[in-house]
């Protein structure tokens, strides 16, 4: 059985946009891409998406191994943009380990257009401004490599994500439909 998910393609114009330095809340760090962070990105991605609508649209997002493979595939692409790929880690002072709580990746589609991939913040860390901060850092990274515009897709029922994108200045460009094959009931 085929299911259609209605999605918005939204765009951010980087031209003439100046990004301020980002101040992270205490105990949170933005980590630039390094191959050794692949599993940390995959973990943050899985924990961000596993209970969300987009895990139906892209089933790999609801599966830990699927997220690892996705990270591996994205980071191996020739058009992968390390500068637009960031991880947020939280060092809880009461624990002696880091929690990987936010992730975003970037790829290029030609010389001018950046594509945001799978931005996610783990549920218990939402509403702290982390989604805004990691997205702004990714946009600044796209600007550093010469992108002029950045595009992303979002499922229309994903209201909190759409509010975030609109607040930061993304504009809806078009409506698209993603087809997913699901087992018949
Ligand atoms: C979309 C998503 C990344 C947003 O992450 P987030 O960290 O909650 O984003 P922010 O904290 O920057 O913004 C969320 C809300 O917190 C508010 N907020 C921001 N900073 C704040 C602060 N310091 N204190 C209190 N509230 C704050 C924002 O105003 C916003 O309010 P709104 O929902 O009424 O618009 C997150 O919900 C998510 O991972 N969702 C699941 C995965 C997903 O669907 N990703 C998008 C795929 S297209």
Q: Report d(CA 42, CA 61) in Å as an integer.
A: 9
- Coil, helix or strand for 26? coil
Q: Which domain holds residue 165?
A: 2-181
pLDDT at residue 143 in the model:
98
Strands 171-181 and 149-155: unpaired
Q: Is there an atom of ligand 1 within 6 Å of 105 CB? A: no
pLDDT at residue 185 in the model:
74
Q: Is there an atom of ligand 1 within 6 Å of 132 CB? A: yes
pLDDT at residue 94 in the model:
79
pLDDT at residue 181 in the model:
85
Which candidate, 106, 109, 169, places its Cα nearest to that of 141? Answer: 106
pLDDT at residue 155 in the model:
97
Q: Mean pLDDT of residues grouped by 10 in the chain (185 residues)?
A: 94 94 93 98 98 93 97 98 98 84 98 97 97 98 98 97 98 96 79
CATH code assigned at 136: 3.40.630.30
With both helix axes pointing from N to C terminus, report the angle between 38-49 and 64-76 in degrees, rounded to the nearest 10. 130
Which atom belonging to ligand 1 lies closest to the Cα atom of 118?
47
Q: Is there an atom of ligand 1 within 6 Å of 129 CB? A: yes
Residue 33 main-chain phi, psi, to 5 deg:
-65, 135
pLDDT at residue 109 in the model:
98
Single pTM value for the model: 0.96
> Which pair of tokens denotes residue 38?
């692949």
Domain count, the chain: 1
pLDDT at residue 124 in the model:
96
pLDDT at residue 93 in the model:
78
Q: Is there an atom of ligand 1 within 6 Å of 131 CB? A: yes
pLDDT at residue 182 in the model:
79
> Which pair of tokens denotes residue 57?
């649209």
pLDDT at residue 165 in the model:
98
Question: How would you list the strands of the sheet with 98-109, edge to edge?
Answer: 28-32, 86-91, 98-109, 113-121, 149-155, 2-13, 171-181
């Amino acid at each position: 059985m085929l299911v259609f998910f209605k999605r918005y393609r939204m765009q951010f114009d980087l031209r003439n946009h100046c990004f301020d330095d980002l101040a992270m809340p205490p105990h949170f760090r933005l980590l630039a891409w390094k191959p050794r962070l692949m599993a940390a990105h995959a973990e943050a991605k899985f924990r961000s998406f596993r209970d969300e609508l987009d895990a139906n649209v892209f089933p790999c997002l609801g599966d830990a191994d699927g997220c690892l493979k996705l990270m591996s595939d994205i980071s191996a692409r020739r058009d992968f943009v390390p500068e637009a790929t960031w991880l947020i880690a939280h060092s809880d002072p009461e624990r002696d380990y880091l929690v990987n709580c936010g992730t975003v990746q970037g790829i290029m589609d030609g010389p001018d257009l950046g594509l945001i991939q799978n931005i996610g913040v783990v549920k218990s860390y939402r509403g702290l401004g982390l989604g805004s901060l990691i997205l702004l850092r990714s946009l600044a990274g796209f600007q550093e490599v010469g992108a002029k515009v950045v595009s992303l897709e979002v499922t229309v029922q994903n209201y909190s994500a759409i509010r975030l994108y609109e607040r930061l200045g993304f504009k809806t460009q078009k409506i698209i439909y993603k087809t997913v094959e699901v087992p018949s009931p």
